[in-house]
Structure 1
Amino acid sequence: MRNNLIESIVFLLSIIVILVGFAVVISKKTFNTQLLKRFNESRMVRLIFSLVCIFLAWIMPWFSVKMLMAIGAFGFLISIFPIKRNASSISIGIAVTLFVLVALWLVGLYSYQGVGSVSNSVLRITNSFPIDVKSTADNSLRIDGSERIMPDKKISLKDAKNVNIAVKGGIEIEFTNSDTIYIPSELNVESDNGNLTVFEKSPKQNVTYVIELGTNPNEAVDIRSAGIEITGSGNFNNFSLNSAGSSINGNISSNNDVYLSCAGLKVSGNLKGKVLNINSSGTTLNGELDFNKIIVNSTGLAINEMSKFSELNINATGLYGRIDILNSSSERGDLSVSSTGGTLTVVNKNKAPVDINTSGFIKITKE
């Protein structure tokens, strides 16, 4: 609330300053002081004011004030080339060119600051799963209209080295410390040479299957579904997930790789392994990551992570958040961030030797 009040005050003061400036530019008779006359008559002064507005638009933390400063910058800039009734085609061309350039700059500015709302927009993406994260005690219709089907059949995993789960509907899966998988009888199971596959007898899209999966470090798991919610803790040899919408509210540890490919992804737990590869349209990361190499490709990314890594590569259109580096003072690391726009705070309390490289319109704050 306090931040909103400050933003409102700054916004109103900015309006007053810009309106006064425009009034000075437009009027030649009302303002007779030497300073105002100089402002009115000097193109260089107006250019300086335009550059000041651009600078303020860059550093201001509030989008409304940024846009107002950008408009002010455009107004002062265009006033350098006033278009009169007898304006030549060259003057008109210059004015149009300036308008296009400033408009393009505004688009860039919007991209830069607009990702401040990435957190909310990504949450909307990741919450639009075909499953509802609220649980019920038995089979019931979900809030989103899908039927929740409870497990009633146990299958041994003692000889399974690879577990593959593929359904058209949604999945609620809990990782357990056991050597069995507990699934609904509506699902089929095939086992061959250490490969266990769980699939639908007849594919359904408007259902959510509840599954309990026992895990062990020698087990490779591959899951494909329309939507999934993961809870519990699991240790794997490899873990792969491909889903339209995914919510991971648990811990995943892998001897090797963790691969997550989702349209919307929300992680609220701890992930550990050698390589983490995330490909998603909208991603929120909260928790702890511990990998040798981390690769994140996401259109929108909201991050609030504690991370230990040798190499961390982030490629996003919009990025917003914070990374707390957990590397010790002797553990080297490379952090590369490429983003069209956004802000990222990097905290390195242990003063680890981490090199930070950026590209695009990304603003990095180091603490």
Structure 2
Amino acid sequence: MRNNLIEAIVFLLSIIVILVGFAVVISKKTFNMQLLKRFNESRMVRLIFSLVCIFLAWIMPWFSVKMLMAIGAFGLLISIFPIKRSSSLISIGIAVILFGLVALGLVGLYSYQGVGSVSNSVLRITNSFPIDVKSTVDNSLRIDGSERIMPDKKISLKDVKNVNLSVKGGIEIKFTNDDTIYIPSELNVESDNGNLTVFEKTPKQNVTYVIELGTNPNEAVDIRSAGIEITGSGNFNNFSLNSAGSSINGNISSNNDVYLSCAGLKVTGNLKGKVLNINSSGTTLNGELDFNKIIVNSTGLAINEMSRFSELNINATGLYGRIAILNSSNERGNLTVNSTGGTLTVINKNKAPVDINTSGFIKITKE
């Protein structure tokens, strides 16, 4: 509510400023003040104002204000280079270059709308997949009218050290505590020297395979699919996921590493291990992270996490949310945040000795 009110106020003020600016640009008689005359007559001044608008479009966290700033910058550039038949190729070239600078301002559309902005782009990427990313902050996944293929074949996982799942379609997978994997018979299975590979006989895109996977701490799992929805709790030796759209609504514990590479990712639950590595275009994190080292690379990141870490590195174009540090009063940690725009609240109730380093236009609030 408060964010919406601030956005509305800034939006209205921006409209007023831009309207006044355009009035100054097009008027030659109404304004007689020396400063306004100089603004109206000087291309350099208008260029400077245009660059300021581009900068504001880059750092502002609100989509509507970004658009206004970008439009204002473009309008000022047009006023610098009016379209004339006598325009030289050099002038046209300069105008194109400056228009490119305005486009850079529009790149700031990524810089902060939580994951809402990114989920829109991820939505376009994953529309062809059976599991789709919604265009909302929830960024939740849903089955998109695809054929749902239920499991009908059980396979023992005794003596299996590595499980590899690879399909072109989508997967609904539930982690269980037994020593079997329950899969549709449409999938092929190969087993060799402790390695179990599950794959499609004939790759299909408009299907979602329902799978139940038994887990144990000695098992390494590697999953590759167009989209995936994970539920339940699992203990692994290593866990790796590569998917266009991914929803993890459960708990994953690893003796070693957890690797998540997705176009769109939503995590609601607890992740634990030595190293967590996330690479995603749009990411929503809710729950608890417990790792020695956490690396998050995401174009847009919405985070509401409790975290214990020795090292936490966040690289994002747009970032919004809060991190509650779970380190004890004698557990040292390093939090590094690199973001083009956004806000982050860091809560450290235990007064843990955590060093916070930032770069970019990110606002950090400590509590």
> What TM-score do you get using the length of structure 2 for normalisation?
0.74
- Percent identity, aligned pairs only, is 93
CA deviation digits over 1:32-87, x for unaligned, max 9?
Answer: 89999999999999999999999998997644346656877999999999999999
Deviation of 1:221 (Å): 1.4
Given that 2:141 and 2:245 are in contact with CA atoms closer than 8 Å, whether structure 1 keeps it comes out as: no
CA deviation digits over 1:157-179, x for unaligned, max 9?
Answer: 22212222222322111111111
Whole-angstrom distance in 1 between the partners of 2:139 and 2:47 = 68
SS in 2 for 1:268: strand
Whole-angstrom distance in 1 between the partners of 2:70 and 2:208 = 49
For 2:65, the equivalent position in structure 1 comes to 65
Given that 1:113 and 1:341 are in contact with CA atoms closer than 8 Å, whether structure 2 keeps it comes out as: no
Deviation of 1:323 (Å): 2.0
CA deviation digits over 1:222-250, x for unaligned, max 9?
Answer: 22222221110001111112222221111
Distance 1:84 1:302, change over 3 A: same
For 1:95, the equivalent position in structure 2 comes to 95
Whole-angstrom distance in 1 between the partners of 2:209 and 2:304 = 30
CA deviation digits over 1:228-278, x for unaligned, max 9?
Answer: 211100011111122222211111001111111223222112111011112
Q: Gaps spanning 5+ residues in structure 1: where?
A: none
Whole-angstrom distance in 1 between the partners of 2:95 and 2:205 = 56
Q: Answer with 56-65 or 93-102: which moved more.
A: 93-102
Given that 1:119 and 1:284 are in contact with CA atoms closer than 8 Å, whether structure 2 keeps it comes out as: no
Given that 1:123 and 1:266 are in contact with CA atoms closer than 8 Å, whether structure 2 keeps it comes out as: no
Whole-angstrom distance in 2 between the partners of 1:88 and 1:186 = 66
SS in 2 for 1:142: strand
Given that 1:279 and 1:297 are in contact with CA atoms closer than 8 Å, whether structure 2 keeps it comes out as: yes
Given that 1:119 and 1:302 are in contact with CA atoms closer than 8 Å, whether structure 2 keeps it comes out as: no
CA deviation digits over 1:260-309, x for unaligned, max 9?
Answer: 12232221121110111122233222221111011122233232222111
Distance 1:200 1:139, change over 3 A: farther
Given that 1:130 and 1:245 are in contact with CA atoms closer than 8 Å, whether structure 2 keeps it comes out as: no
Whole-angstrom distance in 1 between the partners of 2:168 and 2:84 = 65
Does residue 1:244 correspond to 2:244, yes or no?
Answer: yes
Whole-angstrom distance in 2 between the partners of 1:240 and 1:73 = 44
For 1:343, the equivalent position in structure 2 comes to 343
Given that 1:302 and 1:319 are in contact with CA atoms closer than 8 Å, whether structure 2 keeps it comes out as: yes
CA deviation digits over 1:325-353, x for unaligned, max 9?
Answer: 22122211111222333333322222221
Q: Answer with 343-352 or 219-228: which moved more.
A: 343-352
> What TM-score do you get using the length of structure 1 for normalisation?
0.74
Distance 1:190 1:339, change over 3 A: same
Whole-angstrom distance in 2 between the partners of 1:189 and 1:100 = 52
Given that 1:118 and 1:319 are in contact with CA atoms closer than 8 Å, whether structure 2 keeps it comes out as: no
Whole-angstrom distance in 2 between the partners of 1:185 and 1:364 = 52
Q: Answer with 300-309 or 248-257: which moved more.
A: 300-309
Distance 1:29 1:322, change over 3 A: same
Q: Gaps spanning 5+ residues in structure 2: where?
A: none
Given that 2:165 and 2:223 are in contact with CA atoms closer than 8 Å, whether structure 1 keeps it comes out as: yes
Whole-angstrom distance in 1 between the partners of 2:322 and 2:113 = 16
Given that 2:61 and 2:112 are in contact with CA atoms closer than 8 Å, whether structure 1 keeps it comes out as: no
Given that 2:130 and 2:143 are in contact with CA atoms closer than 8 Å, whether structure 1 keeps it comes out as: no
For 2:143, the equivalent position in structure 1 comes to 143
SS in 2 for 1:66: helix
Given that 2:58 and 2:107 are in contact with CA atoms closer than 8 Å, whether structure 1 keeps it comes out as: no
SS in 2 for 1:40: helix
CA deviation digits over 1:159-211, x for unaligned, max 9?
Answer: 21222222232211111111111112222323332222222333333322211
Distance 1:3 1:92, change over 3 A: same
